[in-house]
Structure 1
């Protein structure tokens, strides 16, 4: 099977697709991944063939784009910003993917850019999309994320939810077509007709089936497979370094991943002013470039490293609520404190509260409120016990193998 993958964005958008590509390679398939050059080394190290797509930004370019996304007022505005950023490069993206589809048996795109599946449909190639957050999975059992739930009998509630999902689909298609519709028509693939309800032949939902699959799915094209986790390489020198710092103690870990935000230096100054003296914490710099301006013995800064390697030292993990980081903390079996910044991160914060494995701290006041949240997370027997229980459950799932199986069935 010749598989063409594509995705754009931060590591949270790319790493799960790398994990899928690696699983496909291990299953004996020929895999190409079309994306920006920032991730080429990581992709090729996984044994996947790399195909260049614009823009040719370095990490600072993507960090700037992420700052723009944090200013989105709502999901519709977020979609507008994403597609506006993509517009200058769309023709080259179309041309490259059209060329690569000539020798593909199946096409897999990220959910955000599911409109690209129209290229595959025109070429007669089966297409699937991957989504790393289940808040966009439609169901008559609940309304779209953020819209009101009605306290009515089940029949009326299902009708209400169905109507809201159809309306959401139309609104998102309208916004996408408003930005890129003319360009898509000029390329001969037409405007986006369904973004939420029927984005592709199959939707691979890469979160835990046991924890997150709703009782009523919109259709059988939505398939929950389990998490796809790909991580930065392990640092062979880091264990000894952290062992010396922690002295056998579990400590909080602060990690905002690829999220960036304005005035990071001032935010960290507030954090240092409020963090208790003598309380150890590990801080990952991430894309925001979190730094400690005045060194303190109880604070240790580190760079990119495998979540699994780092989180074994954590009493709790403070993070932004990205899909990849949330999955890694769930697998580590430790409580989490989520400070959402953008998009589906608020949704994941609510989900971790629902699962009773985490707390949420508001973004505007997190430097001041974090010490109290850490005390609660570390001392709560319920949070720690529940986190360990879910980690054991997740250890039984094999997301990569399940996702490969779903794609193979499409080519039978």
Structure 2
């Protein structure tokens, strides 16, 4: 059996596919991952001996040079075109194509599956793109919802219209060239009728909305996290052994403006708590502000190995980082930057396992207040309790489901 896993996004979109790929190979499935050509993605997949099929431009370059609102449709057209060019030959002979990542890329990949007549599965790593009557959809940058519209069902209809306006023309042009019929609703085409939600039900409980879409049957598998056996760097191991558990600060795939100021604020705030600090450089390129021995800078490291040895994690609120920290039972401070990150910050606060920072730009005062909450004994105990309830079999569940899907007699994706 052959499976292609396809995404276009940041590390948080690629890492779960690593976990799934490992579990698929345990079931004797031949698997490849199609993802952006970033070196750290290729290296991470290489760690588990899974081939990378590179598609489109670097995700890190794209994050630092995000398209303007006016150029978003043109950029989406380029992304969709690359999906047809790269996914089509990569998926030849595959039994199933699993698709996730940014909306235009997912739409293009699902169209390729339809063109080739192979089965497909649409996956999301956060539920905010799935229509639900109890919450508002996320607005696209530069396309705010009308202030007078407050009914969530009306807002979800506007969301569908925005998605069509941004991506519909480019998608249907590529579909027409491939001999496929036009898609009338891009968002619903990508979601499908049985999307997979690869998140933990304790951290991210799904609530169906049959009054909004009675046919939407979400399959929640649990988060896709594979055991990471990579050792921590020797310098980091020595630092951890030299004193009390430090606070780890990293904003992952977020570039962040004024990163030097953010690093200073973070280091000063952690020092104000009497704690040592490990600074993860991340895509923000955070750097040390002095040479004092209470602070260490690291590059990309094994979070599973590290998080169990720190006093708290200060991060951006990506789905993967939030899930890994929650599973580790470590208190969190989430400083959300965009998209689904405020949602994860809210979940951390609601569960009592950390603090949600108000807004994307921390100050010494605001980060100190959040650390005051995260570093209490009550938060530590609660974090440990919640960690014990988190599922650990999400990738295994998904791998078995995918094998069943590949063997089932079902049609490919359709509009």
- TM-score tier after normalising by the smaller chain length: 0.7 to 0.9
Aligned residue for 2:363, secondary structure, equals helix
Cα distance in 2 for residues equivalent to 1:305 and 1:352: 23
Counterpart selection for 2:362 from 362, 365, 376: 365
C-alpha distance after superposition, 1:230-285 (max 9, x if no partner): 5593325256313333x2x2322111111112231233244455554653121111
Residue 153 of structure 1 corresponds to none
Equivalent of residue 207 in structure 1, options 186, 190, 199 = 199
Instruction: Give the deviation of 1:68 after TM superposition.
Output: 4.2
Aligned length: 386
Cα gap change, 1:236 to 1:295, in 2 (>3 Å): closer
1:234 corresponds in structure 2 to 231
Q: Single out whichever of 353-362 and 124-133 deviates more from structure 2.
A: 353-362
Q: What's the CA shift string for 1:306-343, capped at 9, x where partnerless?
A: 11111122211100001110011110112211111121
**CA separation of 1:202 and 1:134: change in aligned 2, threshold 3 A:** same
Evaluate the alpha carbon distance shift between residue 46 and residue 276 of structure 1 in structure 2; reply closer, same or farther with a 3 A threshold: closer
- Give the conservation status (yes or no) of the 8 Å contact 2:262–2:361: no
Residues 1:301 and 2:297 aligned together: yes
Distance 1:206 1:174, change over 3 A: same
TM-superposed deviation, 1:125: 1.1
Separation (CA, whole Å) in 1 of partners of 2:331 and 2:16: 22
Determine the C-alpha separation between the residues in 2 that align with 1:181 and 1:101: 20
Partner Cα distance (1:86, 1:242) in 2: 44
- Give the structure 2 partner of residue 28 of structure 1: 28
Q: Secondary structure at the match of 2:284?
A: coil
Q: TM-score, normalising length from structure 2?
A: 0.83
Bigger helix share: 1
- Alpha carbons of structure 1 residues 338 and 29: separation in structure 2 relative to 1, 3 Å: same
User: Which ranges in structure 1 are unaligned for 5 or more consecutive residues?
Assistant: 149-156
Cα contact 2:317–2:342 (8 A) shared by 1: yes
* CA distance in 2: counterparts of 1:369 and 1:132, whole angstroms: 29
Q: Judging changes above 3 Å, is the alpha-carbon distance between structure 1 residues 401 and 11 closer, same or farther for their aligned structure 2 residues?
A: same
Of 385, 391, 400, the residue aligned with 1:405 is 400
Query: What is the alpha-carbon root mean square deviation over aligned residues?
Result: 2.9
In structure 2, the partner of 1:10 is 10
Deviations 1:155-204 (A, max 9, x none): xx9xx544443432232122212555534444444554334444246422
- Distance in 2 of aligned mates of 1:265 and 1:327: 27
What is the alpha-carbon distance in structure 2 between the residues aligned to residue 363 and residue 389 of structure 1?
A: 28
Among 329, 333, 352, the residue aligned to 2:348 = 352
Indicate the SS of the match to 2:278. strand
Q: Distance in 2 between matches of 1:13 and 1:266?
A: 28
Check 1:15–1:82 CA distance in 2 against 1; reply closer, same or farther (3 A cut). Answer: farther
How much has 1:107 moved relative to structure 2? 0.8
Task: Output one character per residue of 1:26-71: Cα deviation in whole Å (capped at 9) or x when no partner.
Answer: 111111212233223322432323323232x4xxxx43422345x9
1:302-381 → structure 2 map (5 Å cutoff): 302-361=298-357, 362-381=359-378
Contact kept? 1:34, 1:51, Cα under 8 Å: yes
In structure 2, what is the Cα distance between the partners aligned to 1:323 and 1:81? 27
* Distance in 2 (alpha carbons) for counterparts of 1:81 and 1:261: 21
1:139, distance to aligned residue in structure 2 (A): 2.9
**Following the alignment from structure 2 to structure 1, what is the Cα–Cα distance between the partners of residues 20 and 225?**
9
Structure 1 pair 143/376, CA: closer, same or farther in 2 (3 Å)? closer
Question: In 1, are the aligned partners of 2:7 and 2:106 still within 8 Å (CA)?
Answer: no
Structure 2: give runs of 5+ residues left out of the alignment: 409-415
How far off its partner does 1:226 sit? 0.5
Q: Cα offset for 1:225?
A: 0.5
Instruction: Tell me which of 87, 96, 102 is aligned to 2:92.
Output: 102
**Are 1:144 and 2:141 counterparts?**
no
CA–CA separation in structure 1 for the residues paired with 2:401 and 2:122:
11
**Change over 3 Å in CA distance of 1:211–1:37 after alignment to 2:** closer
Segment drifting more, 223-232 vs 195-204: 195-204
Alignment correspondent of 2:56: 54
CA drift of 1:134 comes to 1.5
